[in-house]
Amino acid sequence: DVKVTQSSRYLVKRTGEKVFLECVQDMDHENMFWYRQDPGLGLRLIYFSYDVKMKEKGDIPEGYSVSREKKERFSLILESASTNQTSMYLCASSLHHSYEQYFGPGTRLTVT
Amino acid sequence: DQQVKQNSPSLSVQEGRISILNCDYTNSMFDYFLWYKKYPAEGPTFLISISSIKDKNEDGRFTVFLNKSAKHLSLHIVPSQPGDSAVYFCAASWAQGAQKLVFGQGTRLTINP
């Protein structure tokens, strides 16, 4: 069964902290994605990766960075958390030439 | 600029009736469309998709219709069941898009018994 896991379901951080969100998939997928979901805005792509050590900016990369050292793991980093980064963060993965993405359960991050 | 729009934030339907969720897009390059369903505290799950070479795709109770000239797609659920209550997102992609998806804002569907 396809599985994408995210390290935390809920996270509370202070403004200015460095935050790491981890995502692991067990399907040997080449593509991995990070989105944030906000009310009225849907899912917006932050970064994606189509191979180990490769990364591409999505639509809203400002304030974020990513790391993909292993095929199964894709990390999202908030260099200095701000209150406007309070959101639901969703990780997804897909096969190289497939449109169908599989999502993790999400991490609800609150920055105070 | 919202390239994929779901103009109805919410929809309420009686159990057993048809639910119709709508989605509009602006980018003519989009050639593949998907619908995802999301329950609270869970990630979205894939529901059904359609390629731009088709105008209809059916899977059980779910049918997606694509009108390319109007840049419009719709998801029909017949008959609607209480378990269909969720947020539905439409998404679009294109051949040169590296399998990226552009999502709409979502529509919250509530099925009333």
Distance from CA of B106 to the nearest CA of A (A): 6
B9 touches chain A (CB under 8 A): yes
- Tell me, rounded to whole angstroms, the distance of Cα B97 from its chain centroid: 19
B3 touches chain A (CB under 8 A): no
The rounded average pLDDT for each run of 10 residues, N- to C-terminus, in chain B (113 residues) is 92 98 96 96 95 97 97 98 98 85 97 95
Range of the domain at B57: 4-112
Instruction: Report whether B109 contacts B38 (CB < 8 A).
Output: no
Cβ neighbours around A27 below 10 Å, total: 14
- What's the token pair of residue B86? 């969720």
How many structural domains comprise chain B?
1
Q: Which residues of A touch B41 (CB under 8 A)?
A: 9, 105-106
Domains of chain A: 4-79+89-98 (2.60.40.10)
- Report the residue of B94, B101, B102 to disrupt the A interface, i.e. the one with the largest count of A CBs within 10 Å: B101
Q: Look at strands A19-25 and A4-6 and give their pairing.
A: antiparallel
CATH of the domain at B104: 2.60.40.10
- What's the token pair of residue A37? 């979901």
Q: Render pLDDT for A75-99 as a digit per residue (tens, 0 to 9).
A: 999 999 999 999 999 999 999 888 9
